[in-house]
Amino acid sequence: MSRRYQLLAAVLGVALASPSLSGCMRGCDSSRPPILINPSMFNQPKALPYASSDFFFDGKAMRDPVPGTIARGHPPAAAGEEGAMGDGQARLARGRERYNIYCQPCHDERGEGRGILAERGKVPTRNLLEQKVRDFSDQKLFETITDGFGLMPGYRYPVTPPDRRAIVAYVRSLQAAAPPPPEAAP
């Protein structure tokens, strides 16, 4: 019987001592430095921006960007995009091609918002011929294609900026060719 009490006392002692020991492993002050399992994670050799360096021939630690690098979130200037697309007819042809791929399933070929997804999937789609859309600036249409709006997904990655501008030009040509729909009575 005494052996049973000794075993119970040992288990109880370990159970009571373990929380007090583990509580002091983190956050306790010590005059000795911590023991680091992988010290290179905390003390990495690195160069700070605008610091000098003897390693590179120009003495700068920070390297210049590769020529032609475009910063994230800063698309190239619009003038460069315009010139890359060519004349108006080529731009409209490219815009029509991209519109048919990315926009027609929802907005249909005339831009009336009665595409296959609106018919079969009952997805509410905006009519691009509405006066409200006609009043949008070209930049607003470009941003809507880029970032999306409501249920429309953004096409930032699948459609390049010159192609987005070509789609905007094609939508404007659709709007010019068709009269605006009558406004609904309030």
> Which of 116-137 are b and which e, b meaning 16 or more Cβ less than 10 Å from the residue's Cβ?
ebbeeeeeebbbbbbeebeebe
Structure pTM?
A: 0.54
- Considering the domain boundaries, does residue 94 fall inside one? yes
Place of tokens 């018919």: 119
| Beta-bridge partner residues of 152 | 149
In this structure, is residue 108 part of a structural domain? yes
Residues spanned by the domain of 112: 88-177
Q: With respect to residue 173, please indicate whether it lies within any of the assigned structural domains.
A: yes
What is the spatial distance between Cα 168 and Cα 143, in angstroms, rounded to a whole number? 10
17: in domain: no
The pLDDT of residue 82: 46
- The values of phi and psi at residue 140, to 5°, are -65, -45
Low-confidence residues of the chain: pLDDT under 70: 1, 17-28, 39, 41-42, 74-87, 183-186
- CATH code of the domain containing 153: 1.10.760.10
94-103 tens-digit pLDDT: 999 999 999 9
Distance CA 49, CA 63 (A): 9
Strands of the chain (E only): list them: none
Angle of helix 161-177 relative to helix 88-102, nearest 10 degrees, comes to 90
Can you give the pLDDT at residue 50?
Answer: 87
